[in-house]
């Protein structure tokens, strides 16, 4: 079975070129991106959240799948990397790029319930998970990647991932499936 994505976001190659120039190596892989697009397409008119924009590869895939009336908020602490995402995707009126700490964003959010959250930094994943799940609508999707060892991980990262997986049953409002596919995924639904 060839699981290479066939359709790719138009902006992806330019984003990845800029990422290489910047030395940014943490963009989501393309199979994950394709899944993000697919899941985003399952939320017509949805409120889509990404925590950890990076240079915008994941955002490009999410926008690729989203309907015209859906919206994306993508949160990033590092303005230098997020500037690349804004450069390539900022013209899309569905996208809002917010430069702030994701932990603070979770605390401050008072908007309507979120339809899909792709959490790609520590807040909302390794800590503040209950707070993040409380922001999801019933049936809202929760997606994380990089649960299998990555070359970019610091030495102390594996125990963090192990603890995340071990404590998932503590959240009865999350029905989830870990997948040993791509970089190691977890796809959950708020119940
Ligand atoms: C794995 S990369 C994101 C890749 C991107 N989501 C994609 O799919 O291409 C993680 C990003 O999270 C950002 N980050 C780390 N800690 C953060 C925090 N506390 N709040 C917001 N962003 C953070 C990093 O600067 C980095 O750009």
Q: For 42-97, what is each residue's pLDDT tens digit? A: 999 999 999 999 999 999 999 999 999 999 999 999 999 999 999 999 999 999 99
Q: For the domain 12-190, what is the CATH code?
A: 3.40.50.150
170 CA distance to ligand 1 middle (Å): 25
Inter-axis angle of helices 12-22 and 79-89, to 10 degrees?
A: 160
97-100: long-range pairs with CB below 8 Å, 24+: 97/53, 97/59, 98/73, 98/74, 99/75, 100/75
Q: Whose CA is nearest to atom 26 of ligand 1?
A: 54
Q: Where are the domains of the chain?
A: 12-190
Q: Is the CB of 121 under 6 A from ligand 1?
A: yes
51 CA distance to ligand 1 middle (Å): 7
Write out the chain's pLDDT in tens, 191 residues. 999 999 999 999 999 999 999 999 999 999 999 999 999 999 999 999 999 999 999 999 999 999 999 999 999 999 999 999 999 999 999 999 999 999 999 999 999 999 999 999 999 999 999 999 999 999 999 999 999 999 989 999 999 999 999 999 999 999 999 999 999 999 999 99
Phi, psi of 74 (to 5 degrees): -125, 125
CB atoms < 10 A from the CB of 99, how many?
16
Q: What is the pLDDT of residue 67?
A: 98
Q: Is the CB of 58 under 6 A from ligand 1?
A: yes
Alpha-helical runs (H) found in 100-171 = 102-108, 129-133, 158-167
44 CA distance to ligand 1 middle (Å): 25
């Amino acid at each position: 079975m060839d699981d290479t994505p066939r359709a790719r976001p138009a902006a992806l190659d330019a984003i990845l070129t800029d990422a290489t120039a910047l030395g940014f190596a943490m963009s989501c892989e393309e199979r994950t991106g394709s899944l993000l697009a697919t899941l985003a397409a399952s939320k017509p008119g949805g409120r889509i959240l990404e925590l950890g924009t990076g240079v915008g590869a994941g955002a490009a895939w999410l926008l690729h799948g989203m309907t015209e009336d859906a919206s994306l908020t993508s949160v990033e602490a590092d303005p230098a990397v997020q500037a690349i995402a804004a450069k390539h995707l900022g013209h899309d009126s569905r996208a809002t790029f917010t430069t702030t700490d994701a932990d603070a964003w979770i605390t401050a959010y008072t908007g309507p319930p979120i339809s899909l959250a792709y959490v790609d930094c520590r807040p909302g994943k390794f800590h503040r998970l209950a707070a993040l799940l409380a922001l999801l609508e019933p049936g809202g999707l929760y997606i994380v990647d990089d649960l299998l060892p990555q070359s970019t991980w610091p030495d102390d990262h594996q125990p963090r991932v192990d603890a995340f997986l071990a404590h998932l049953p503590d959240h009865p409002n999350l029905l989830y499936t870990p997948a040993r596919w791509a970089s190691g995924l977890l796809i959950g639904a708020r119940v």
